[in-house]
Structures are given as structure tokens and as C-alpha cells.
A = this chain, B = another copy of it.
Amino acid sequence: MTLTSPSRRVTTPVTPANPSHGALRPLGLSEVQITGGFWSRMQSVNADGTLPHIAHWLEREGWLGNFDLAATGSLTPENRRGREFSDSEVYKYLEAVSWQLGEHRDDKLEKHFRSVVSRVAAAQEPDGYVNTRFGRPGQQARWSDLAWGHELYCAGHLFQAAVARIRTKPDADDGLAQVATRLADLICEVFGVDGIQSVCGHAEVETGLVELGRATGSDKYIEQARIFIERRGTGVLPDIEFGRAYYQDDIPVRDADVLRGHAVRANYLASGAVDVAIETADGVLLDSLTRQWQNTVARRTYITGGQGSHHQDEAFGEDFELPPDRAYSETCASVASIQFSWRLLLAHGDSKYADLIERTLYNVVATSPAADGRSFYYANTLHCRVPGEPADPDAVSPRAEASLRAPWFTVTCCPPNVARTLASLDAYVATASAEGIQIHQYAPAKIATTLDDGESIELSIETDYPTTGAVTIRPLRDASKPWTLQLRVPAWANGSSLTVNGGVVPAEPGYVTHRRQFRAGDEIVLDLPIEPRLSEPDRRIDAVRGAVAVERGPVVYALESVDLPDGWGDVSNIVIDTSVAPQDQGERVVVQLARSIAGEKPWPYNTSDPSHETHSSLVPLIAYHDWAERGPSTMRIWLPTL
């Protein structure tokens, strides 16, 4: 695409991503508040369960203590705790808390936030460098292990935390912004055009730098991000066992056709590259990223929205290589994918990006944390063959693929990533354009903003979506002139309709648009058909050939063994009778399953069919994000057909 002339913002939204121009303008936390429903409950659990949980573990594992040791000059390779990227978890926590405090005053949390910032600031060195893993006597030298050291990655998370604070509390005198800009200045000096000709093995600093540039007005940070984006893909990092594709150093960003390699790295990189494309009006780069998104979604994404088929390198597989039982689908990859999609949504205004965000939120982000917000999935399998063992709630799990959620991991990127996403989720609900307002995600909410032409808009969203499919929008003030309301109709929602003050019109997938001089008392109702549906996979996805998935609205359903009739055992011998339509029973969907009993065979590749008998029964499925809350079980999303 050719980028059209930028429309400069008249407000500075309180949001993680604030591009200077694009098709849509984000509405931030001061303009949109989720007031109830599914996501409000998730946010409450995040505030009351997850944030204190993370604070506890950061302290307990010594990852905060590393900063204290650094501040007193007593940090050594021997007494430093945690992996090389442990600083980043502290920063993601600070980002999550910033968003939380931006919406809800909490003096105790504010005090904790400031104390953590002080401890980080105390560890910063005179030239601005801050990282507990490198550069001190006995430690590896600064920037000596760009491939695996995660120094710039940590910096990127620090920048995002600072941006969250700058936007939510612009007048705070806590010092976080200064810590970030001093480090950013150093990075620009060290890695500039004439500096170290390399990049970080884990992309992240790019998007952090752009946003810090946007938040502070320092164009040099954006220029440094551009330099990093252009450098990557030219073989500046060492070749490794997984190949340079692992950290996207195989092909220049603008020349790639699809995301590949480590799925978190790939999505963070793509997010930062969109940021750079927008700020530098680089339409060729944006076109490339748009194409990469399309190909990745069409060929390398699970039905849950999850990404990453390989455990070995936490990476994308080849096209259509999407095994449900070996799905890695790392929680962080989904968080990063949402960031990528969101940036393209703002750039292009196409509903498909919001579709994927919704799918990913309901089926990965909501799946990772337990109901109490104190244990998490790191990987999100679509087929669990063996009941998991409960994780020790008081121990660090060495295994990312623990089959029941675990409270903390040796590599624990996912819990604080979920926390910062949920704490800022209000910012993903709606946007504005020159003509009006777009609503992308449906939750009970209040929206109040001012359009570029000065028109003030206030409205409410009332819904119990996705339990039912009705979404009611009520303007709360009389408009002075016409404006346009656009409501997303998901791609699956064929047969939707829009009712405006009693008049019904069909609503096709995409955005249904209504323009008028709205008045308080108007009622706009979008009806989305959320009845259960059977979804068939593309036949090129070999791993799920001959199987269907059940979806209901944006939610993917799953069969969990605890719901099977007595004596049926686990989910491996089940087939679905698709001639019986799935029945909607509110939280559950009931399907007709048959138990297929294969005889014990000494060799599983016989020329004749196994003898088997079938018993059939109505069996409930549950929302995938609710699975594994009832003790050890087996589970599958894809159900083989009779």
C-alpha cells in the first residue's frame, strides 16, 4: 500500500501503542473502560491474584534482589539469581502495574511500584547502562553475547514499562522515564549507524524504542529502531543449530513472506517493524509485514489463534504443520501476535486483525492463567494425551510444558506478559477515525472521546457476549452532527443483523456501519449468531485430517476426559457423529460422541481395519480456556469424525 497523508493526533491516548498516523486512532484507558463481563472478571483476577503473585515470586526468586546487589556493587555471577533475561520480568511487572494504576488508584500498589522503580534505578550505572547480567567484574562484558544475552530485549521491556508510566501518570516523579531514556540514549550511542553492527538475538527493543520515541518525542529512538530493523536478516548474528531463522536473521525483514523461527521473537519483531514502517512512512515495509501476517494466519496458526508448532525451538513450523498434540502455542507468542495484529489494525482498519485478536484473547490469553490467576500455562496444547500432574504451588517448574498450570517457571516470561495484556485490555476495545468510532471487541464498557473535528462522543456497550450474541450500543449524549459507528462482525458471524431504533438490516462480516446524528436514547443492537458450529480444517493440515472442532462465537470448545461417561477412559478413542447438530447449553455445548474401542494390536499399521465397537452418547464440551480446572484429565479440541 501507499501510506496516505498522516492525520496527526489531537489527543495522546493512554495505550501501549500510539502510532502517529494510520487508518484508525487508538482509544486509550482514559477513553474506554471495560465495566463488566468476561474480561472484567479476568482483569479483577489479574489485579487481585496475578499481580501480587508475580511480585511475590520476583522477590522470592531474587530477581528483584539482583538489582539490590548490583546497586551495592556486590553482584557476581555466583550470587546473581535467575536466567539471563530475568530483569525483563521485573519490567513487564512494572508495565502491568502502570496500566493497572492508570485505571484504578491503589496507594499500596503505587508504593510498591515506586519501591521497585527505585531498586532498578539504583542499579543503573553512570552512563545509563542497566542490566544485572553483564558488565560487572567477573561478569561477561556488556554486549558480548548479543545472540543469547537478551540485554537489548530487557531494555525493550524497560522502555515499554516506562511508556506505560509516562502515559498513565505523566506527572509521576518516580524516575522510571529517566532510567529508560538514559539507557535508550546509551543504546543509540553504542548501536547507532557507526556503532556495533548487530542486533539482539531476541527482538523486542525495536518496538520499545519506537514507543519510547513516540512518548518522549525523541526521534532518535525511532531512528535506532529503524537501524535495528534494517540490520536484522543480514546474517549479523551467528549461525546456530536452529539456523538463523530462529532469530529472524536469515532474511531482511522487508524481504520475508511469512513469520518463521521463534514465534515470540518473530511477532515482537513484526510489531516493531510495523512501528518503524508507520513512523518512517515506509509503505514497502508495511506491505511486506501485511503479507507476512496474511500468510502466517492462513498457514501457520492454530484454530485457537496460538502460534508455534515446535517445542524444540519454540518456533513456527512449516506451512500447515500444526500438530494439536505437539502445539507449543506459547502464551507469549499470542501476546506478541496480538501486538502485531493491533498495529496492522490501526494501520489498515481491516476487521480481520481484530478477528484474530479476539480469537487469541479468548483461546490463548484466557487459557494460560488458572481461574485464581496464580498458575499459568506457558505452552497451550490443543490435545493432551496423558493426564498432567499437578504442579507444586510452592516450587518453580523447570518444564514449560507442565500439563497442569504451574505457579512459576525457570523461564517465566508468560505470567507477566498475560498480566500486562489484561491490565491494558481496555485499549483494544475501540478506535476512532475522522468519521467516527469503531468497536472491535465486545464487552460491557463505557467509551468517551473527542473526534478530530471536536465532536464529543459518549456511549455505553451492554452485552453478555460471548454467552449470547446481542451487543447493545447506547449513545449517552446528543451529537451536534452526524458521525459513523462501525461495529465489527466477525468472519464466522454469517447471518448477523443490526437493529437501530427498531429497524433491522443485515450485517455482513467486516464492519457494519451506521452513520447518523446520534442522540442519547438511541439504541443500536448488533446480533451475532453465536450458536455452536463445526469447523473443518484445511486438508493440508495433515495432523487433524478427518476431525472437526466445535466453536461457539469466538470461543473454541474442547472435550475434557472428566466429562466423558463412566468407563470411557480418556479422549483418545472418541469419534463425533456430525449428523447430530451440537446443542447449545449455555456454558457448555453438547455433542454426540461414540466410543471407538480398538482391539489391542501388536502392530498399529495393519492392512485391515481394526475390529471395534461403538457406544454413543451425548457428551458436553467446555470452553477450551476453562480446561484443566478439575484435576488431571486428558483433553482434545479436534474430534475425529465417525
Contacts and interface: CB of A to CB of B under 8 A. Distances in A.
A605 B538 contact: yes
Contacts of A547: 542, 545
Interface string A272-303: 00000000000000000000001001110101
Given A545-B546, A605-B538, A640-B545, A243 B298 contact: no
Interface string A624-642: 0000000000000010100
Copies of this protein in the complex: 2
Summarize A's interface: helix, strand, loop or mixed. loop
Interface string A367-409: 0000000000000000101100000000000111000000000
Nearest to A541: B604
A195 interface: no
A271 to B, nearest CB: 20
A606 B536 contact: yes
A226 interface: no
A581 to B, nearest CB: 13
A312 B313 CA distance: 8
A71 interface: no
B538 A601 contact: yes
Contact of A539 (B309, B491, B541, B596): B596
Contacts of A294: 602
A324 B473 CA distance: 50
Interface in A445-468: none
B543 A385 contact: no
A549 to B, nearest CB: 7
B572 A540 contact: yes
Contacts of A545: 545-547, 640
A542 B604 contact: no
A326 B321 contact: yes
A352 B573 CA distance: 26
A540 B383 contact: no
B383 A605 contact: no
B610 A539 contact: yes
Nearest to A242: B399
Contacts of A241: 398-400, 410
A214 to B, nearest CB: 30
B385 A298 contact: no
Classify chain A's interface size. Answer: 35 or more
Nearest to A575: B539
Contact of A321 (B301, B325, B605): B325
A542 B548 CA distance: 12
Interface string A479-491: 0000000000001
A180 B398 CA distance: 38
B492 A542 contact: no
Contacts of A536: 605-609
Interface string A590-613: 000000101011111111111000
A537 interface: yes
A538 B325 CA distance: 17
A602 B538 contact: no
B601 A298 contact: yes
Given A240-B398, A398-B240, A410-B241, A320 B543 contact: no
A603 B491 contact: yes
B610 A538 contact: yes
A92 interface: no
A310 interface: yes
Contacts of A239: 398
A523 interface: no
A613 B294 CA distance: 24
A266 to B, nearest CB: 17
A605 B492 CA distance: 10
Contacts of A398: 239-241
Interface in A218-255: 239-243
Given A239-B398, A325-B542, 13 more contacts: A243-B399, A303-B605, A319-B572, A323-B326, A324-B542, A491-B603, A536-B606, A537-B604, A539-B610, A540-B572, A540-B598, A542-B638, A542-B640
Shortest 6 CB-CB contacts between residues of A and residues of B: A538-B604, A546-B546, A311-B312, A318-B385, A312-B312, A545-B546
23 contacts: A241-B398, A297-B603, A298-B600, A299-B604, A310-B312, A311-B311, A317-B325, A319-B385, A320-B385, A321-B325, A321-B385, A323-B325, A323-B326, A383-B542, A533-B607, A535-B607, A536-B605, A537-B604, A539-B640, A541-B604, A542-B638, A542-B640, A545-B545
